[in-house]
Structure 1
C-alpha cells in the first residue's frame, strides 16, 4: 500500500482506541464495566447490535459470497424482522426487569443453577469459536496486503485487541462500534462508487448488472423447499428465524448489548432498528460483490485471488500445468469479455431475440471461465494440501488493494481492521461476562469484592483472547468466513433457544425437563449433522424443537422442580 494509505489506517486506529478509552467512565465497578450502568441511548445500542454481528466478516465474506454466488445469501436474513419483533415482546422485558448481567442468570431464576451453567458453557464454547473466525477475517486481508505469515498476522490483531478490551469496558466498546458502523457504510459506498466509475465507456450500471444477472448473480429469491439447500426463501424465513431468535435472544454477545440500554423501550427500539436496517445494508454489501464480478468482466482478474497459494503452485513440480491453465484462462477471459460486450450491445438495441442469443453466448463463455478456475483451485488443493481452499475470502481484499485509488484503499482497510477489532472487543467482553458471572462468581468465589471480580474479568479476557487467536489460525481456511461463523452458531443456537422457549413459553416446564431438554437438543443436532446433508440453517430448528419436546416429556414424567438428577 501507499504511505498515504498506511497513514490513514494508523490514524484511524489510534483515534478509535483513544476515543474508546476516553469514554470508559464508570468502568471501575462490575456493573459499569459489563453493562455501562444500563445508561446507553437506544440508537447507540442499535448500532452496536448491528456492528457486533457484522464485523469484518461482512466485508470479506459477504462481498466474496456476492461475487461467487450472487444475491441469494440475502435470503438468510428474511427471518430477522420477525425475530426482532418476537424478542422485543418477550425476552427483552424479561431480561431487563430481572436485572441480570447475563441471559443465563434468568434460567436459574426460572429453573436451577445446572441449567444456567450448562447454557452458559454452551455459549462460551460457541462464541469462543466464532470470535476466532472474526479475528481470521481481517488477518486474511492483512496477510495478503503485507505479505506476512497468516499466523503472525492473527497474533498481531488478537494481542492488541485483547489488551484494549481488558481496559475498555462495554461503554468503550459501544461507542467504538458506533464509529465502526459509520466507517463501514462510508467505505462500502465509496467502493460502490469506484466500481461504477470503473466500468468501461458505453457500459452503464444497468448493462453491467444485466450481464451479471445472466450469470445468475442477481437471483435473490428461491422458493424451492429443499432441506439440503442453504439459501432459499424457506430456509431463511424458518431456519433463519430460529437462528436469529437464538443469536439475538440467547447469545450473551447480543443480549449484553441491549441490557446496556436505559430502559425496556430503549432495548426494544435498538432491536427494531437492526430489524429494518440490516437487510438493506446486507443487500448493499452483497451488491458490492456482484459489482466486483461485473467489474472483472471488463478487466482482467487473477485466475486465483490468493497470491500466496499461486506462488506455491508456480514454485512446485506442477508449475508447467498451472502455466498452461493460466494461458487457457486468459483466452477464456478474452472470449468472455467479447461476449459480455455483445450482450451489452444487444441490450442497447432492444431486440429480444438478439438479447437472448447474446446472453446465452455469454453464459457459455462464463461457464468456460468457471471451469478453468475450478481446475486451478483443485490444483492448489493438491499441491498445497489445503483441501478446503476457496477463493471467496480473497476476492474483495484483492480488488481493494489492486484497483482502488490511493486514500480509498486506506479508508476501506481501516474500516475492515477497526470493525474487526471493535467486534472482537465486544465478543471478548461478553465471554468475560459469562465466565465471571455465571461460572466464577456463581461457583468458585461467591463472596469477593467488586474490585476482585473486576480484576478477574480482565484476566479472563486475556485467556479468551489467546483462545480465539488459536481458533483463528484454523478458521481462515474453512471456506467462506460468513458461512463458517453461521455454521458454528447453528450447532448451538437452536438448543439455547429451545431452553428459553421452555422458560418463557410454558409454566409446565420443570428444572429437570429444561436440563435434559438442553442435553437432548444438542445430541439431536450432533446426530442430524453427522448423519444427513441437511443445511446448517435447519439445525437451529432441529435443536429448538428437540429441546422443547424432550423438555416437556421429562417435565411430565418428572414434575419436580428440585435440582435432583
Structure 2
C-alpha cells in the first residue's frame, strides 16, 4: 500500500501556507483602517461573480461529498449524482426568484429577512435555531467527518486532526471575515476541482489499463451498467434512498432550494455581490461547477466497485483509491483537495455563525446602549467565532462512527428544510402569510416529519420532505385565511421587473438545463 512521501508532504504544506497567506493578506486592513460590520460580514459588497461561485461550491463541498458520495457511488452508482444535478438547477431558481428579493431588503442575514417579512419573534426563534444547528450539528460534523477522512488517508489521530482543521480554518476566517473566506475559497476550488479530477482520471486510466479516462468510462458502462441508472426502479434495493422519478420531481427540490436559497451558510456569498447581476452570474457559475462534481465525488466510487475493492464499508472507497493508485506527488495534490473541501466549509460556517450571532442576537438583545460601534461588532463576531470553534472541537469526537453521524445529519436536515422553505416561499409570494403561520410551520415541520417517520417508515426520506413541505404550506395558508386582513402589513411589494435577468445569465442557464436534460435522457 502506498504511503505519503516527502514530496507529498511538501506539496500539502505549500498549499496550507498559500491559503493562510492569502487569507491573512486579504483580511488585513489597509492603512490601519478598522473593518466595519459590512466589510467584515458582507465583504463590503465587493465580491465578483467568480468569487461568489467559487465560494458557494467550496463552502458546499466537504468530506461528506468526497467520502460519503463516493461511498454512495460504490453502492448505488451514478443515481446519487441527482443531489448535484438538482442543485445545479435549483441555483438558477434561487438566482432568479430568491436573490432579487433578498437584495431588495438589504439584509445581512436570513433571520433579518424574517423580521422584515414576519416579526421579531419569528426572527429570534429561527436565529437561535440556526445557531444551535450550525454549531452543534453542522460545524461539529464537518470537523469530525473531515478529521475521520484525514485519518483514513494519512492515519493522523482523529482528535489531532480536529484541532488542526479548526486552527487552519479559524486563523484566516475569524481574522479576515467574509472577503478572506471568499477569496481563499477561489484557491481552494482550484485544488478541490483540479485534485479531484486528477484522482478520477488516474483511477479511470488504471481501470482502462493505461488507455485513458474515456476508455475507462466506456469499460465501466459495459461492465457495471447497473451503476449508471439515474432513475432507480422499484426493484432496485436502493430505491428507498432514491425513489425513482420522485428524485427529480419531488422532495429533493425542497432540500436543494432550502440549502442554496434560504441557508445563511451559502446565500451570504451572493448577498455580498457587487450587484444583483454579478450575484446571479456567481450562482450560475456555481451551477456549472455542480455539473462537474459527480465526476469527482461519484465516479471514483464506481471505479472502486468495478475493481472489487477489498473494503469493509463503502465510505472507504475514496481513501482506498488514494492509498493504492495515486502516485507520489499527485497524492499530495489529491490530499490537498480533500483538506481544501473541509477547511473551506469550516471557514464559511464559522463566518455565517458569527454573522447571525452578532447581527441578530448580540446587536438586538445584548447591547445596553442604543448604538454600538462598528469596531465592537467586528470584535464580538471574532470572539464568538473562537467560542463556536472551541465548542465544536470539544463535541466533535463524541459523534461516534461516520455512518451514524452522517445519517443523523441527513435526517435532521430533512426535518428543518420543508418548514423553513415554506416560510420563505410564502413570505415572498403570498401577501396574506403572517407570523403565526410562520411559527406554526417552524414547529410543524418537526411534528409532521416525526409523525411520518414513526407511522409511515416505508416512505422515502426524499418523498417525506416533499409531503411535509406541502403540509407546512397548508398551515401557513390556513393561518393567513383566518386573518381578517386581505394582506399582511409586512408583505413585500414585488413586481415583474424585479426578476429580470441579463442575456448572458439566460444563455448560461439554458446551457445548464440543456446539459441536465441530455444527462437524464442518456442515463435514464
Which residue in 2 is equivalent to 1:329? Answer: none
Q: Does 1:522 align with 2:446?
A: yes
| Contact 1:76 1:236 (C-alpha < 8 Å) held by counterparts | no
What secondary structure sits across from 2:76 in the alignment? helix
After the TM superposition, which residues 115-514 of structure 1 pair with which residues of structure 2 at under 5 Å, given as runs?
Answer: 115-128=122-135, 129-199=137-207, 201=209, 205=216, 208-210=219-221, 212-214=223-225, 216-222=226-232, 229-231=240-242, 232-294=244-306, 296-297=307-308, 301-304=309-312, 391-445=313-367, 447-475=371-399, 477-479=401-403, 485-514=409-438
Which residue of structure 1 aligns with residue 15 of structure 2? 12
- Paired with 1:476 and 1:410, the residues of 2 have a C-alpha distance of 28
How far 1:23 moved relative to its partner?
A: 1.1
**CA–CA distance in structure 2, aligned partners of residues 132 and 531 of structure 1:** 31
Indicate conservation of the 8 Å contact 2:418/2:466, yes or no: yes
Matches of 2:394 and 2:452 in 1, distance apart?
28
Task: Evaluate the alpha carbon distance shift between residue 223 and residue 117 of structure 1 in structure 2; reply closer, same or farther with a 3 A threshold.
Answer: farther
SS of 1:220's partner is coil
CA distance in 1, matches of 2:465, 2:365: 30
TM-score computed with the length of structure 1 as normaliser: 0.77
Distance 1:47 1:195, change over 3 A: same
Any residues of structure 2 matched to 1:69-80 within 5 Å, and which?
A: 69-80=76-87
- In 2, distance between residues paired with 1:97 and 1:206? 46
Aligned residue number for residue 471 of structure 2: 546
**SS at 1:90 equivalent:** helix
The Cα of 1:113 is off from its aligned counterpart by 0.3
**What does the per-residue CA deviation read over 1:44-89, in whole Å, with 9 as the maximum and x for residues that have no partner?**
1011111111123322222222123211101234433442333223
Q: Secondary structure at the match of 2:62?
A: helix
CA distance in 1 between partners of 2:233 and 2:74 (Å)? 22
1:476: Cα distance to partner? 6.0
TM-score (norm 2): 0.83
How many residues are paired up?
Answer: 472
Aligned equivalent of 2:116: 109
* C-alpha contact (below 8 Å) 1:511/1:562 kept by paired residues: no
Structure 1 range deviating more: 489-498 or 120-129: 120-129
Deviations 1:314-355 (A, max 9, x none): xxxxxxxxxxxxxxxxxxxxxxxxxxxxxxxxxxxxxxxxxx
Residue range with higher mean Cα deviation, 202-211 or 15-24: 202-211
What residue number does 2:36 align with? 29
List alignment gaps of at least 5 residues for structure 2.
Answer: 491-524
- Whether the aligned pair in 2 keeps the contact of 1:42 and 1:270 (CA below 8 Å) is yes
Distance apart, 1:104 and its partner CA: 1.7
d(CA) in 2 for partners of 1:28, 1:558: 45
* Contact in 1 for aligned 2:202/2:325 (Cα 8 Å): no
Work out whether residues 478 and 484 of structure 1, in 8 Å CA contact, stay in contact via their aligned partners in 2. no
Contact preservation (8 Å) 1:167, 1:458: yes
In structure 2, what is the equivalent of residue 83 of structure 1?
Answer: 90
Cα distance in 2 for residues equivalent to 1:188 and 1:454: 36
Relative to structure 1, the CA distance from residue 206 to residue 112 in structure 2 (aligned partners, 3 Å threshold; closer, same or farther) is closer
Give the 3-state SS of the residue equivalent to 2:403 in structure 1: coil
Partners of 1:303 and 1:90 in 2: CA distance:
45
Largest Rg, 1 or 2: 1
Structure-1 residue corresponding to 2:520: none
1:2 partnered with 2:32 = no
Unmatched runs of 5 consecutive residues or more in structure 1: 305-390
Greater alpha carbon shift after TM alignment, 470-479 vs 51-60: 470-479
* 2:64 matched residue in structure 1: 57
Deviation of 1:15 (Å)? 0.7
Please give the alpha-carbon distance, in whole angstroms, between the structure 1 residues aligned to 2:210 and 2:469: 53
Q: Deviations over 1:390-443 (max 9, x none)?
A: x23322113212332111111111111122112100011001111111111112
* Contact 1:261–1:267, Cα closer than 8 Å, also in 2: yes
User: Compared with structure 1, are the counterparts of its residues 559 and 509 closer, same or farther at alpha carbon in structure 2 (3 Å cutoff)?
Assistant: farther
Distance in 2, matches of 1:303 and 1:511, equals: 51
